[in-house]
Structure 1
Amino acid sequence: MSQPKPVEPKVNLTTTPDYRDGYANSVQVRMSVWDFLLVFGTLSQESPDEINIKNFQGIYLSPQQAKALSNVLNSNLAQYEQAFGTIALDQQVPQPGGPVH
């Protein structure tokens, strides 16, 4: 006896009036037992001895949603590298006061 195939729900994607796009070249990840906080910002370096980070948005995720995001990003990164080549990370940029990825 076969199990009935689960019905996939229809997904309706909309944006709220306060939706906005932004560019970030800095993401700080903070975590607690209850959630993850992703803090997005822009990093600039005007001199060799000073880095400025201007944070503009913090997003809280449940641990489950953070893991789902990790899986989606890893899959998309693998597809990107297959299409365009390996992404190299600059190891020369210092990481100020905590994990900035």
Structure 2
Amino acid sequence: MTTPSQQPEIRIAQTGDYREGYANSVQIRVSVWDFLLFFGTMTQTSPETIQISNFQGIYLSPQQAKALWNILGQNVAQYENTFGEIKLDAQATGHMSIQ
């Protein structure tokens, strides 16, 4: 008789350098090997200038990037079902020139 394989127990722990931060800016760079996400804060320093200060860069394999995309999509849909549609500013969906 064969027994179904058991799922391993998952234990999550924070490392000594773990920190949380608020990001209102994410930039993405893509190569054939990985995705690089830069998280930062964006502030408008003058009518003509927006300052982006990145504080964390995270590399993801293409497989992890797609898994993140899937789970993030599920969570956004759940959020919108609970709280209503998230409206995006027209500028938020466009491209910005970054110097």
User: What is the alpha-carbon root mean square deviation over aligned residues?
Assistant: 2.0
Cα distance in 2, alignment partners of residues 7 and 72 from structure 1: 23
2:39 corresponding residue in structure 1: 40
Matched ranges for 1:2-81 at <5 A = 4-81=3-80
TM-score, normalised with respect to structure 2: 0.88
Report the 3-state secondary structure (helix = DSSP H, G, I; strand = E; otherwise coil) of the residue aligned with 1:92.
helix
2:96 corresponding residue in structure 1: 95
Q: What percent identity do the matched residue pairs reach? A: 58
Which protein is richer in helix relative to its size? 2
Report the 3-state secondary structure (helix = DSSP H, G, I; strand = E; otherwise coil) of the residue aligned with 1:70.
helix
Cα drift, residue 45 of structure 1: 0.6
Q: What residue ranges of structure 2 are gaps of 5+ in the alignment?
A: none
Cα drift, residue 4 of structure 1: 4.8
Q: How many residues align?
A: 97
Cα distance in 2, alignment partners of residues 40 and 90 from structure 1: 19
Bigger CA drift: 40-49 or 77-86?
40-49
Cα distance in 2, alignment partners of residues 73 and 30 from structure 1: 18
Cα drift, residue 95 of structure 1: 1.9
Query: Cα deviation per residue 1:35-89 (whole Å; 9 max; x = unaligned)?
Result: 0000011000132211000011100000000000000100000000000000011
Cα drift, residue 96 of structure 1: 2.9
Structure with larger RCO (C-alpha < 8 A, sep 6+): 1
Report the residue type matching 2:46 in the other structure.
S
Cα distance in 1, alignment partners of residues 25 and 51 from structure 2: 10
